[in-house]
Structure 1
Amino acid sequence: MAVPGAGTIDRAGDRIAERLGDERALGIFRRAMTETLDRAVETLADGTTFVITGDIPAMWLRDSSAQLRPYLYLAGDPELAALIAGAVERQCEYIVLDPYANAFNRAPDGAGHSGDRTDMNPWVWERKYEVDSLCHPVQLAYLLWRVTGSAAHLGERFRAAAEAILRVLRTEQDHENRSPYRFERDDCPASDTLVRDGLGPVTAVTGMTWSAFRPSDDACRHGFNVPGNLFAATALGHLEEIAHEVFDDGDLAARAARLRAEISAGVAAHGVVDHPRFGRIYAYEVDGLGDANLMDDANVPSLLSLPMLGAVDAGDPVYAATRRFVLSDANPHFHAGTAAAGIGSPHTPDGHVWPIALAVEGLTAEDAAERARLIATLRDTDAGTGRMHESFHRDRPETYTREWFSWADAMYCELLLRHSGLRLDAEARR
Structure 2
Amino acid sequence: MARIDEELVRGIADAVRKRVGERIGTTFESCFRNTLSTTMRELPDGTLFLLTGDIPAMWLRDSTAQLTPYLHFADRDPLLADTISRVSRRQLDYVLLDPYANAFNAGPDAAGHQSDATEQSPWVWERKYEVDSLCYPVQLAHDLWRITGRTDHLDRFAEAARAIIALWRVEQRHETDSDYRFQRFDAPQSDTLVRDGLGPLTEPTGLTWSGFRPSDDATEHGYNIPGNAFAAVELAHIAELAREVLDDAALADDAEALRAEIAAAIAEHGVVAGPDGDPIYAYEVDGRGATLVMDDANVPSLLSLPMLGWCASDDPLYLATRRAILGPHNPHWARGEHAYGIGSPHTPPGHVWPIALAVEGLTATEESERMRIIETLVATDAGTGLMHESFHPDDPTVYTRPWFSWANAMFCELVLDACGLRTHRRAPIGSEVTG
Please confirm whether the aligned pair reaches a TM-score higher than 0.5, indicating the same fold. Answer: yes
Equivalent in the alignment of 1:313: 312
1:136 positional shift = 0.8
In the other structure, the counterpart of 2:117 is: 117
The CA distance in 2 between the partners of 1:196 and 1:94, in whole Å, is: 28
SS at match of 2:421: coil
Report the Cα offset of residue 56 of structure 1: 0.6
Distance 1:46 1:428 in 2: 34
Q: Kindly indicate whether the alpha-carbon contact (under 8 Å) linking 1:231 and 1:311 is maintained by their aligned counterparts in 2.
A: yes
Answer yes or no: is the 8 Å Cα contact 2:191–2:216 preserved in 1.
yes
Match of 2:299 in 1: 300
* Correspondence list, 1:341-356, <5 A: 341-356=340-355
The gaps in structure 2 that reach 5 residues or longer are 430-435
Greater Cα shift, 37-46 or 362-371: 37-46
How far apart are the structure 1 equivalents of 2:298 and 2:350?
16
CA contact (8 A) 1:342 1:354 kept: yes
Structure 1 segment 325-340 matched on structure 2, within 5 A: 325-340=324-339
- 1:364-405 superposed Cα distances (whole Å, 9 cap, x missing partner): 112111111100000000001111000000100000001111
Q: Residues 191 and 89 from structure 1, CA distance in 2 versus in 1: closer, same or farther, beyond 3 angstroms?
A: same
1:85 lines up with 2:85 in the alignment: yes
Displacement of 1:287 after TM fit?
A: 0.2
* Deviation digits for residues 272-304 of structure 1 (CA, Å, limit 9, x no counterpart): 001241511000000011100100000000000
Mapped to 1, the partners of 2:302 and 2:329 lie a distance apart of: 14
Cα distance between partner residues in 2 of 1:346 and 1:276: 21
Tell me, what secondary structure is at the counterpart of 1:125? strand
Aligned partner of 2:175: which letter?
A: E
1:89 shift after superposition? 0.2
| 1:101 match: secondary structure | coil
Give the deviation of 1:41 after TM superposition: 1.4
Match of 2:9 in 1: 9
Name the stretch that deviates more: 268-277 or 221-230.
268-277
Count matched residues.
428
- Structure 2 counterpart of 1:347, one-letter code: H
Take 1:177 and 1:196, find their aligned partners in 2: how far apart are those partners?
Answer: 14
> Following TM superposition, by how much is the alpha carbon of 1:238 offset from its aligned partner in structure 2, in angstroms?
0.3
- Separation in 2, partners of 1:343, 1:383: 19
Tell me, what secondary structure is at the counterpart of 1:353? coil
Give the distance between the partners of 1:370 and 1:276, measured in 2 at CA: 24
TM-score, L = length of structure 2? 0.97
Q: CA deviation at 1:19?
A: 1.3
Q: Give the RMSD, CA atoms, in angstroms.
A: 1.1
Equivalent residues of 1:278, 1:324 under 8 A apart: no
Corresponding residue number in structure 2 for 1:417: 416
Contact 1:146 1:427 in 2 (8 A): no
CA distances 1:341-363 after superposition (whole Å, capped 9, x unpaired): 00000000111000000000011
1:10 shift after superposition? 1.6
What 5-or-longer segments of structure 1 have no aligned partner?
none
Cα drift, residue 42 of structure 1 = 2.1
* Structure 1 residue 3: Cα displacement: 4.9
Report the equivalent of 2:432: none
Among all aligned residue pairs of Structure 1 and Structure 2, give the percentage whose two residues are the same amino acid: 60
- Aligned residue in 2 for 1:394: 393
Change (3 A) 1:29 1:145: same
1-structure distance, mates of 2:198, 2:416: 42
* Whole-angstrom distance in 2 between the partners of 1:314 and 1:248: 33
Letter of the structure 2 residue corresponding to residue 104 of structure 1: F
Cα distance change on mapping 1:227 and 1:361 into 2, 3 Å: same
Q: Which amino acid aligns with 2:127?
A: R
What is the distance in 1 between the residues matched to 2:380 and 2:190?
28
TM-score (norm 1): 0.98
Distance 1:383 1:301 in 2: 27
